[in-house]
Amino acid sequence: GQQLNQSPQSMFIQEGEDVSMNCTSSSIFNTWLWYKQDPGEGPVLLIALYKAGELTSNGRLTAQFGITRKDSFLNISASIPSDVGIYFCAGQRWQGGKLIFGQGTELSVKP
């Protein structure tokens, strides 16, 4: 199935550092979502974006819906050990449509 291009694939950072990851697509999406998945569990929604150019924060997390509607980024500020996990972007082309997922970014945080 089709996937979004998510990068980087993995990151190893020191506690306290900021993190940035992004997703790009060759086609337009009307909704961008960011999820975090811990080992052995389902994805948990972090941020949902519905409008091109929208910038939304959730605590230390900030995500933006690209103006072209073909990309989105997620920033995590002042990372902490519990930020460890796999982060997925997901795009939806129309309301009620299926989600297409990025390949994921595996984040490791060294205390």
Residues at the contact surface with another protein, assessed by CB under 8 A: 1, 3, 31, 33, 35, 40-45, 48, 50, 88, 95-96, 98-104
Local structure of 12: helix, strand or coil:
strand
* Least Cβ distance, residue 16 to another protein (angstroms): 27
Instruction: Using the minimum distance from each CB to another protein, give the nearer residue, 37 or 75.
Output: 37
Rounded (5°) CA angle 102-59-105: 20
CB of 86 to another protein, least distance (A): 9
CB closer to another protein out of 62 and 103: 103
Burial of 4 (0-12, 13-18, 19+ CB in 10 A): buried
Two tokens at 54? 């929208």
